[in-house]
Amino acid sequence: MLYTSQNFFLFFPIVCLFYYIIPKKIRWFWILFISYFFYFSWNQKLPLLLLFSTIITYIGGIGIQYLKKRDKKPRKFGQKIILFFCISINIGILFFFKYLDFFFLNLNKILNRIHFIQIENPFSFILPLGISFYTFKVISYLMDNYREKIDAEKNLFKYAAYVAFFPTIISGPIDRAISTIPQITDPKKFGFENVKHGLWLMLWGYFQKFVIADRLALMVNEVFNNQDLYTHSGVIGMIASIFYSFQIYCDFSGYSDIAIGAAQVLGFTVSDNFRRPYFAKSIVDFWKRWHISLTTWFRDYLYIPLGGNRVSKIRHLRNIMIVFIVSGLWHGAGWNFIFWGFLHGIYQIIENLLTPVFHKKLHNIKTYGTFGFKLAQTLFTFFLVNFAWIFFRSESLEHAFTFIRGIFRFNPSLLFNANLFTFGMDRTNFEITIFSLIILFVVNWLQRDQTSLRVKIDHQPLWFRWVLIIGCIFFILIYGIYGPSYEVNKFIYSGF
Amino acid sequence: MKQKKNLAFFSSSVFKRIFSIILFFIFAVILYNYVNKVFLLKDRMEASNFFVNEPKNSINVLFLGSSHVLCGINPLIIWNEQQITSYSLATNAQMPYASLMLARLSQDFQKPKLIVLDVYMFLREVNFDASEWNHKALDPFPLTLKKAVSIIHTERIQNKMEFLFPLVKYHSRLMKEELSNQDFLYPFINTTSLLKEYTYFDSIYEFKFLQNLNQIIEKKPILSENEKTLLEMIQWAKDNHIPLLLTAIPYQTSLTDYQQINYIASIAEQNKVPFLELNTRVGEIGIHSTTDFKDNGHLNVFGAEKISSWFGRYLASNYELNSSRANDTVQNWNDAYTYYDNIHHLKEINELSDFLNRIDNPHYISVLTGGDGDYDLLPRKAIEKLQDFGFIGNKKDHSTCFIGIIDQGKAVIEKPSRIVEVNYPFNVYLNEYFYVQNSTTTTIPIQIKLNHEIVATYQHGLNILVYDKEKGLILDNVTFDPQTGLKTVK
């Protein structure tokens, strides 16, 4: 069951209704039950894997806790063994399900080079939904426990409810035990504001997904999936790549808003995942705004353990590169993903090296800090991010390079004739796309002062709020890309 | 003190909040209802769009089933001969579960004294679920709790959301640029079906019936799912005290089909439900496979008249269905019959006065054109009828032609002078119009266009083109030539 499936629209109101009807003491059990039901509805066998990860890390957590409290001096060695064991098992499972094919593919390439017999992958499984996300969740739990930020959760079922928490299990945000488990244990009362704001956020999420992301996919899929037809795509390739930048943003931000909104309706506070990323003025700034829960995860559990920036310059830059390559690999088992991570690593390193130089030089420029200057920074950052997305979207590294070569075909006339509307998106859809992107821009712009837009809307007169909500609902219903007339587009990040 | 507390609740923020939420939902539901109706498919007469607009409790007999019923049962014949009001709530390829749902949903609009169910689709194993026919059958019914429960309980309906909220299915019509002004007006227009959903075909197809049907006694079970639905239908009718009559409208049946019909007959017998198998009664009814079918599955207008007439007699003699009705109901049904009769028989009329009487119909637009002097050669009776419509007559002002348009039984345009062209927009919302270009010389004919398209050209004589606004069809296009004693040229 995905957030866009019809069953979810029946499932979610029932979940909420019962959640607030039943006594507070047993609400965590309801969360556990419906979270497993939610996961079970997608596949009947794989919840066992989730359960296995949960039990292993639960026992690991208890073990670490036990060792912490047994002696006055914590036995770090024993804890490390447990931590290593539990993380290895979970990473092993992730590797087994997500990267084994990729491993054998590359192994065979090497074997082929040295004229050895190729080995077939004896295991081939479907990728369990949300495995990358819940694996990171359980690792963060163990690490926080090990670092004594939290105590181990003694109640297995409450812990299982945290791991399987249905709003975030498919694609995050990767919520931390430190904030979520207390909310499961001690649920909030029914709050009208929470429910209202949660529903608004869900509505905005659906708008981003159905109206923008899936409409952009019409052209993006046409161009990227038919590489043979678009080897000399030129301006069409450029538009498709820009559209993809917005598609992936609206798709994932839409998903995150639905997830955070759904959690908020139930009274949970889940951390933000996006903060207007395309308004970023540098790559470092971009990564503070994009997929925040993953970025902070890597910061806390990979970058800092590697030494962070409190090491020599070379090691610091190495740490950045490791984090981004691992991040690329986390997104998908393919060289294009690794290269995407590598590219962002390079961006970061260059920025890191050049920033002090530029700061000295640029401060002396008259136009420094003006609107035009900031706009140039934003557009340049967008250009770099957009370029990297081509590798992310392409089926392979080779495909990506072919696509990039195709972009250099000079055919700007296509922009000014009706041929533009023959690449998967007709004129009407194109116009709606542009209109929707303007709405997206306006909404993002209104969020520039970090205040919740929902709070701002709250201060508007009733008629305005009604028109806004009803307008949004009907805009989605009428202009949304859903239903039997369209191909269903899953959330992009649900594939990771 | 207690009263004050009660009043305080009404002025409290909680009450205001609840009140505003309720108001919001009411507003949203009304808006959704409108938008949903706009997006529904309305292009086919087989849809049950018009049933919901029939006057409440005005239908005595409800026919359910597939296209066999649509083409085979003419409620207007039954009305004309037996004064029994009936309605063909049939839709193409109506799946058994859809028949059951329609029977249930129809109860909110009509309280029929009898439900007649054609069993043809109970023999079929074809999966029509994904087709649009069932949507056309069920979507026009408003979303009520009863409808929602029926949809949720019906296993065969997989895309429940699409049936609960048809907008999910049809919202793409806007992007496909399929919506017309008619779609936007539809929610405000409570149109009823003039033919009570009977579907008219006058083409003829010849085939041979399967011989000796009476000798086939073997039974072949129908699909268990269909059998279950049939038993459910029988039980539902019993529970609601609505007599149910099963029937099989004649068609070119196969051996397997007939064995399955025998099986259904046995189910009917076990459950004490009457079953009228008409394939074995074609001789008694007077149905011929050489004249009464439009193809091997569907009756044409000639066959439908025979079946309907027979059915009417059967209903009159076996059920108490006649009841006193308001005068306007009787008048409406009589008008509907006249309308049908014209569709069927207008082309057979060769006498001008008769023809003019027939086109005196609120649903028609008639475009009259005539050559110079033709008007004056018309017989007195015809001229009087034309004057009844409101035509003044040719003033003999050296005109070469005569152009007149009758809409809703009244002359709306009369151009006897040297008018080169006439434009008559009869539906501004849908941008529908007639355009008549006059003949300026004897070599250039008079042309009539209907929305850009040339639909008739004439050289001389009194020409009448009859257009049915309801069906959007040209019913007849005839020339009465005064030079040859007003002989008709069709």
Task: Give phi and psi for A149, each to the nearest 5.
Answer: -80, -30
Point out the domain boundary residue: B305, B340, B375: B340
Element (H, E) at B301: helix B301-318
Residues B96 and B207 in one domain: yes
Single-letter amino acid code for the residue at A162 = Y
- The mean per-residue pLDDT over the stretch A21-35 comes to 93
Lowest model confidence (mean pLDDT) among A62-76, A373-387, A452-466 = A62-76
> Is pLDDT above 50 for B271?
yes
Contact (CB, 8 A) for A327 and A294:
yes
Edge-to-edge order in the sheet of strand B487-489: B410-415, B401-407, B364-371, B462-468, B473-481, B487-489
Same domain, yes or no, for B453 and B393? yes
Determine the pLDDT at residue A228. 74
Let me know if residue B246 belongs to a domain.
yes
Specify the pLDDT at position B446: 81
- In Å, how far from its chain's centre is CA A159? 23
Question: Do B360 and B221 belong together in one domain?
Answer: no
Q: Exposed/middle/buried for B328, CB within 10 Å: 0-12, 13-18, 19+?
A: exposed
CA distance B118 to B110: 19
Task: Classify residue B2: in a domain, yes or no.
Answer: no
Say yes or no: B63 and B147 in one domain.
yes
**Residue with token string 């039901």:** A37
pLDDT of res. A346 = 96
The rounded distance, in Å, linking the Cα atoms of B331 and B58 is 13
In the predicted structure, residue A101 carries a pLDDT above the cut 50: yes
pLDDT digits (tens, 9 = 90+) for B342-364: 888 888 888 888 888 888 888 88
Give mean pLDDT, residues A291-318: 92
Q: Is B139 left (phi over 0), alpha (psi -120 to 50) or beta?
A: alpha
In this structure, the answer to whether residues B139 and B287 fall within a common structural domain is yes
Separation CA A16–CA B393 (nearest Å):
76
B426 in a domain, yes or no? Answer: yes
Q: Do B35 and A473 touch (CB under 8 A)?
A: no
Q: Is residue B86 part of a domain?
A: yes
Interchain CB contact of A424 with B (< 8 Å):
no
Per-residue pLDDT, A13: 94
- The answer to whether residue B27 sits within a structural domain is no
SS (H, E, C) A217-245: HHHHHHHHHCCCCCCCCCHHHHHHHHHHH
The rounded distance, in Å, linking the Cα atoms of A251 and A221 is 14
Residue among A272, A87, A17 nearest A168 (CA): A272
pLDDT for the residue A74: 56
In this structure, what are the phi and psi dihedrals at residue B2, rounded to the nearest 5 degrees? -65, -40
CB contacts under 8 A, B 177-236 vs A, are 177
Which domain CATH number covers B209? 3.40.50.1110
Which chain B residue has its CA at the smallest distance from A5's CA?
B161
Integer Cα distance of B304 and A270 in angstroms: 67
User: What is residue A285's predicted lDDT score, i.e. its pLDDT?
Assistant: 94
Number of domains forming the structure of chain B: 2
Q: Are A67 and A82 in contact (CB under 8 A)?
A: yes
Segments making up each domain of chain A, as ranges = 6-187, 194-495
What is the reported pLDDT for B384?
Answer: 85
- Whether residue B25 lies inside any domain: the answer is no
Record the tokens describing residue A495, joined without a space: 């594939």
Select from B163, B175, B179 the residue whose CB has the most chain A CBs within 10 Å, as the one to mutate to test that interface: B175
Quick count: other Cβ atoms within 10 Å of Cβ A389?
A: 21
Q: Is the ipTM of this complex over 0.85?
A: no
Q: Rg of chain B's alpha carbons, rounded to an integer?
A: 27
Residue A441 phi, psi dihedral angles, 5° rounding: -60, -45
Residues B180 and B304 placed together within one structural domain of the fold: yes
- DSSP element (H, E) containing B377: none
B85 closest CA partner among B107, B63, B68: B63
What is d(CA A252, CA A269) in angstroms, rounded to the nearest whole number?
A: 18
B167 and B201 co-located in one domain: yes
Distance between CA atoms of residues A121 and A103, nearest Å:
9
Q: Does one domain contain both B373 and B274?
A: no
Which one of B310, B340, B370 terminates a domain? B340
pLDDT at B292: 92
Q: Cα separation of A195 and A189, whole Å?
A: 11
Rounded mean pLDDT of B296-312?
Answer: 92
Contact B67, B297 (CB under 8 A): yes
B169/A480 touch (CB, cutoff 8 Å), yes or no: no
Is residue B147 a part of any domain in this protein? yes
Place of tokens 């039950």: A33
Contact B169/A9, CB-based, under 8 Å? no
φ/ψ region of A128 (left if φ > 0, alpha if ψ in -120 to 50, else beta) reads beta
pLDDT at res. B468: 87
Write out the residue range of the structural domain in which residue B203 sits: 39-340
Residues of B in contact with A484 (CB under 8 A): 159, 162, 169
Give me chain A's average pLDDT, please: 89
Helix H, strand E, coil C: the string for A125-161 is CCCCCCHHHHHHHHHHHHHHHHCCCCCCCCCHHHHHH
Is the pLDDT higher at A140 or at A102? A140
Token pair for residue A381? 């950052």
Cis peptide before B362 (omega within 30 of 0): no
Range A143-182 burial, b when 16+ CB lie within 10 A, else e: bbbbeeebebbeeebbbbbbbbbbbbbbbbbbbbbeebbe
Asked if the structure places residue B123 within a domain, the reply is: yes
Rounded Cα distance, B11 and B27, in Å: 22
Lowest-pLDDT range, A484-488, B185-189, B280-284?
A484-488
DSSP state of A171: T
CA gap A275, A295 in Å, rounded: 13
Local structure of B320: helix, strand or coil? coil
Selected residue of B129, B168, B173, B179 to mutate for chain A interface (largest A Cβ count, 10 A): B168
A458, A194 Cβ separation under 8 angstroms = no
Q: Is A232 considered catalytic here?
A: no
Residue A281 CA to residue B214 CA, distance in Å, equals 87
B429–A contact, CB cutoff 8 A: no
Least confident window among A135-149, A404-418, A457-471: A404-418
CB < 8 Å to A474, chain B: 31-32, 35
Q: pLDDT-derived band of residue B106, with 50, 70 and 90 as boundaries?
A: very high
Q: What is the pLDDT of residues B329-345, one digit of tens each?
A: 788 888 889 888 888 88
Q: Please, is B89 exposed, middle or buried when counting C-beta atoms within 10 Å of its C-beta (0-12, 13-18, 19+)? A: buried
Convert A421-434 to b/e letters by CB count within 10 Å (16 or more is b).
eebbbbeebbebbe
Dist. CA B333–CA A128, nearest whole Å = 64
* Inter-chain CB proximity A477 and B27 less than 8 Å: no
For A107-111, A317-321, B69-73, which range has the lowest pLDDT when averaged over its residues? A107-111
CB pairs under 8 A between A and B: 47
pLDDT band at B6 (very low <50, low <70, confident <90, very high): low
Cβ of B20 within 8 Å of Cβ of A462? The answer is yes
In this structure, the answer to whether residues B302 and B434 fall within a common structural domain is: no
Q: Is it the case that residue B45 has pLDDT exceeding 50?
A: no
pLDDT tens digits along A65-87:
888 877 666 567 888 899 999 99
According to the model, what pLDDT value does residue A30 have?
94
Q: How far is Cα A188 from Cα A19, in angstroms, rounded to an integer?
A: 11
Instruction: Identify the active-site residue in A331, A359, A363, A399.
Output: A331
Q: What is the per-residue DSSP string for A244-293? A: HHHHHHHHHHHHHHHHHHHHHHTT-------S-GGG-SSHHHHHHHSSHH
Look at residue A336 in the predicted model and tell me its pLDDT: 93
B205 and B319 part of one domain? yes
Do B332 and B358 fall within a single domain? no
Which residue is closest to B20 within chain A, CA to CA? A462
Is the same domain home to B289 and B177? yes
CB A417 within 8 A of CB A357: no
pLDDT (tens digit, 9 = 90+) per residue, B409-467?
A: 888 888 765 667 888 988 877 778 899 887 666 666 788 888 888 888 877 778 899 99
Q: Find the residue in B nearest to A10 (Cα).
A: B161
B161 and A478 within 8 Å at the Cβ level: the answer is no
